[in-house]
Amino acid sequence: MKKVDNQTNNHSSLYCAIFGHNFQVSKKITYHVKEYKCCNCKKEMTTNSNGNLTELTPKFREINLVLERIHNNKLIRLSRQRIDYPQFKMTS
């Protein structure tokens, strides 16, 4: 059974080596940071601090988890502020 899995993985990685990866967004961390996964070989990438794609290592995975938590807390805090303090327009 493992041979079949290895063969499909070899074909997928060969396809990616020839034609390039087909990355699709697998998870949105913030507005600018996302995680990507190749449809063929299942390779995972993420955007780094410069906006370039880097391989998703355990270190980057942990950074993304913390960043996502901070981002979600900020969105919750901002939505509460908008509800608690409605903006009034000045009319003349």
What is the residue-level pLDDT of the chain in tens, covering all 92 positions? 444 445 556 777 788 889 889 999 999 999 999 999 999 899 999 999 898 999 999 999 999 999 999 999 999 999 888 766 666 667 76
pLDDT at 2: 43
- Cα–Cα dist 24/14, whole Å: 19
Beta bridge partners of 34: 28
Whether the model clears a pTM of 0.85, i.e. scores above it, the answer is no
pLDDT at residue 84 in the model: 65
pLDDT for residue 8: 53
Residues 10, 15: Cα–Cα separation, whole Å = 8
